[in-house]
């Protein structure tokens, strides 16, 4: 096996931005089998459930410390009318989910069921309202229905549906992909609409809203600039108008051939590397959006939110092409670990991110099958291994000697990705070796804090196509990993880790 080496310095006593736990957020859309068959099986199911919510799925997700869950879309959000999903289930109207498979939606999973799911997960709700086919009044009343205390028309309606106390719902999305499925609008048109909607989404009874304007696709900076112009002015250091508190963008990863165009499992080495180049490019995209936002909001009061990210492959053979049910391999796990390193780097502006999507859709944590067996994907394990970064303080990693770059077409891929953070007397270092056929010996000079104990785990497999199935659920699963430490110069610790090809490792350090 060819080997190479890399060397980095980690300053454990230098504090960077706090890595919001919300960078580890999730997304559940009424799409394919994400809600129905994924999260929701109904009260009468033989599958153990609480009020219709699948308990094996909840138990698996609780281990990830899910900080927030976005719902009901995606594109579906701009077709969804929340009043259809409250009250006795037999009275709820049926609609057609034209966007995703043209199937009937019986509205059995609605507002109360979503709030129950968030409570079971311990996650903050992130509700995406309907701008495309809804009204300002409809979204304003949804906020009132969920969050107002005391007495009001919407409070009386909520109580009639069995819930007396208001919920806390901090995160509200103002439409979705307004440039596309959310209404095919021009940026300026949507920016005006976002301001109008935001004006009528009120803080009720101590529930402070974090309103998120629907943002750009990929690196469409024009869209971001139009939204920033709506709330601030170029070079202003005064407070932006507090209409919306964040702007989103969406970024999907594929193998350079467009979304849904290449196989989830049977990919070539070239497709693997093109995937990594595309995943790594989110660094440039976040930096570009941040630069535009910095020009209008140098004090960084408006947040950037990537509320859809992940891989998008061909669907599993024999499944509905509009259900977006795809397999998930070690390659997907490495896309996730690379994204998280980049998210940590941009934590000063990037306040939230949501993987698309949590169960049975696109880059899922959990796949369920027709026999209702459940599989944890390689991506699930990255979220679990990395959860110690949530609300931790990022610390700088300086690459002194990089691993040799991999040439991919006319681009270069740095095969080693690293990030580090500290929290509660511990440090967590994440390391990904993206190379397909090279061991990388990584030497880290850990400076600034003494280390009293070290633990490490690794996620890898024989090949990047490896994945988990009901009959081989642990083909890709974390294992203990041996690293060595020895005293370094000036009281530092020198840590050495030999990362096998296509691997992700975490090192936890107890700090004196």
What residues act catalytically? 177, 308
Rg (CA), the chain: 23
Cα 416 versus chain centre, distance:
22
Minimum Å gap between C-beta 286 and ligand AHR is 18
Is residue 225 within the footprint of ligand AHR (CB under 6 A)? Answer: no
Minimum Å gap between C-beta 236 and ligand AHR is 31
Q: What values do phi and psi take at 420, rounded to 5?
A: -150, 150
CA distance 206 to 147: 9
Residue 176 or 430: which CB sits closer to ligand AHR?
Answer: 176
CB 127 within 8 A of CB 112: no
CA distance 305 to 285: 12
Give me the 353-372 binding string for ligand AHR, x by CB under 6 A, dash otherwise: ---xx----x----------
Minimum Å gap between C-beta 254 and ligand AHR is 12
Is residue 311 within the footprint of ligand AHR (CB under 6 A)? Answer: no
Residue 110 or 132: which CB sits closer to ligand AHR?
Answer: 132
CB 344 within 8 A of CB 18: no
Minimum Å gap between C-beta 380 and ligand AHR is 18
Minimum Å gap between C-beta 217 and ligand AHR is 8
Tell which positions 422-441 bind ligand AHR, by CB under 6 A.
none
Residue 127 or 507: which CB sits closer to ligand AHR?
Answer: 127
Beta strand spans in 356-492 (E): 366-368, 374-376, 393-395, 397-401, 406-408, 411-413, 416-423, 426-433, 439-447, 451-459, 479-480, 484-487
Residue 324 or 385: which CB sits closer to ligand AHR?
Answer: 324
Interacting residue with ligand AHR among 78, 177, 220, 384 (CB under 6 A): 177
Residue 217 or 411: which CB sits closer to ligand AHR?
Answer: 217
What residues contact 163, with CB distance under 8 A and at least 6 apart?
A: 112, 115
Residue 310 or 464: which CB sits closer to ligand AHR?
Answer: 310
CB 342 within 8 A of CB 41: no
| 3-class state of residue 368 by DSSP | strand
User: Quick one: which segment of 54-62, 67-75, 138-146, 415-423 binds ligand AHR (CB under 6 A)?
Assistant: 67-75
User: Quick one: which segment of 69-77, 280-288, 392-400, 451-459 binds ligand AHR (CB under 6 A)?
Assistant: 69-77
Beta bridge partners of 487: 493
User: Quick one: which segment of 72-80, 191-199, 370-378, 429-437 binds ligand AHR (CB under 6 A)?
Assistant: 72-80
Is residue 75 within the footprint of ligand AHR (CB under 6 A)? Answer: yes
Is residue 478 within the footprint of ligand AHR (CB under 6 A)? Answer: no
Minimum Å gap between C-beta 356 and ligand AHR is 4
Encoded tokens for 235: 């070079």
Interacting residue with ligand AHR among 73, 240, 464, 501 (CB under 6 A): 73
| 3-class state of residue 394 by DSSP | strand
**CA angle at residue 15 from 9 to 16, to 5 degrees?**
90
What residues contact 277, with CB distance under 8 A and at least 6 apart?
A: 256, 408, 409, 411, 413
Tell which positions 119-138 bind ligand AHR, by CB under 6 A.
none
Q: Please report which helix (H) or strand (E) contains residue 53, including its range.
A: strand 53-54
Cα 330 versus chain centre, distance:
18
Interacting residue with ligand AHR among 74, 173, 215, 378 (CB under 6 A): 74
Is residue 308 within the footprint of ligand AHR (CB under 6 A)? Answer: yes
Angle between helices 282-296 and 221-231 (to 10 degrees): 30
Query: Would you mind telling me the total number of residues written for the chain in this entry?
Result: 512
Interacting residue with ligand AHR among 68, 147, 176, 379 (CB under 6 A): 176
Residues that bind ligand AHR (CB under 6 A): 29, 73-75, 176-177, 308, 356-357, 362
């Amino acid at each position: 096996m060819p080997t190479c080496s890399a060397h980095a310095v980690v300053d454990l006593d230098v504090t960077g931005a706090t890595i919001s736990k919300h960078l580890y957020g999730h997304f559940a859309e009424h799409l394919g089998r994400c809600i129905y068959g994924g999260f929701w099986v109904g009260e009468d199911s033989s599958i153990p459930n609480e009020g219709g919510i699948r308990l094996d799925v909840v138990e698996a997700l609780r281990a990830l410390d899910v900080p927030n869950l976005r719902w009901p879309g995606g594109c579906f959000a701009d077709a969804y009318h929340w009043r259809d999903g409250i009250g006795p289930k037999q009275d709820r109207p049926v609609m057609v989910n034209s966007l995703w498979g043209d199937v009937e939606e019986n509205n059995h999973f609605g507002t109360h069921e979503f709030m129950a799911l968030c409570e079971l997960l311990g996650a903050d709700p992130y509700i995406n309202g309907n701008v495309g086919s809804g009204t300002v009044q409809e979204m304003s009343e949804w906020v009132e229905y969920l969050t107002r205390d005391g007495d009001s028309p919407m409070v009386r309606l909520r109580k009639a549906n069995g819930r007396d106390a208001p919920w806390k719902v901090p995160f509200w999305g103002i439409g979705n992909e307004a440039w596309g499925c959310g209404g095919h609008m021009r940026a300026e048109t949507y920016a005006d609409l976002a301001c109008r909607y935001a004006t009528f989404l009120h803080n009720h009874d101590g529930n402070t809203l974090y309103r998120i304007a629907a943002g750009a696709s990929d690196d469409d900076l024009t869209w971001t600039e139009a939204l920033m112009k709506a709330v601030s002015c170029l070079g202003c250091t005064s407070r932006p108008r507090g209409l919306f508190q964040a702007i989103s963008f969406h970024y999907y990863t594929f193998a350079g051939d467009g979304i849904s165009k290449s196989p989830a499992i049977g990919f070539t080495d070239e497709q693997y590397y093109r995937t990594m180049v595309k995943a790594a490019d989110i660094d440039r995209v976040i930096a570009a959006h941040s630069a535009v936002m910095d020009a209008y909001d140098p004090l960084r009061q408006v947040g950037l939110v990537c509320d859809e990210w992940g891989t998008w492959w061909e669907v599993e053979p024999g499944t509905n092409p509009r259900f977006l049910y795809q397999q998930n391999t070690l390659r997907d796990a490495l896309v996730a670990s690379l994204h998280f390193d980049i998210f940590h780097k941009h934590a000063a502006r990037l306040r939230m991110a949501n993987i698309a999507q949590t169960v049975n859709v696109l880059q899922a944590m959990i796949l369920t099958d027709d026999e209702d067996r459940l599989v944890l994907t390689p991506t699930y394990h990255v979220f679990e291994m990395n959860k110690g970064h949530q609300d931790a303080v990022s610390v700088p990693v300086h690459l002194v000697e990089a691993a040799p770059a991999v040439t991919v077409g006319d681009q270069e891929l740095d095969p080693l990705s690293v990030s580090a953070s500290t929290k509660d007397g511990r440090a967590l270092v994440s390391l990904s070796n993206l190379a397909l056929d090279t061991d990388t010996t990584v030497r880290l000079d850990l400076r600034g804090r003494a280390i009293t104990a070290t633990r490490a785990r690794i996620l890898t497999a024989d090949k990047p196509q490896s994945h988990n199935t009901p009959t081989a659920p642990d083909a890709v699963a974390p294992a203990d990993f041996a690293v060595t430490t020895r005293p370094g110069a000036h009281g530092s610790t020198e840590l050495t880790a030999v990362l096998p090809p296509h691997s992700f490792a975490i090192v936890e350090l107890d700090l004196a």
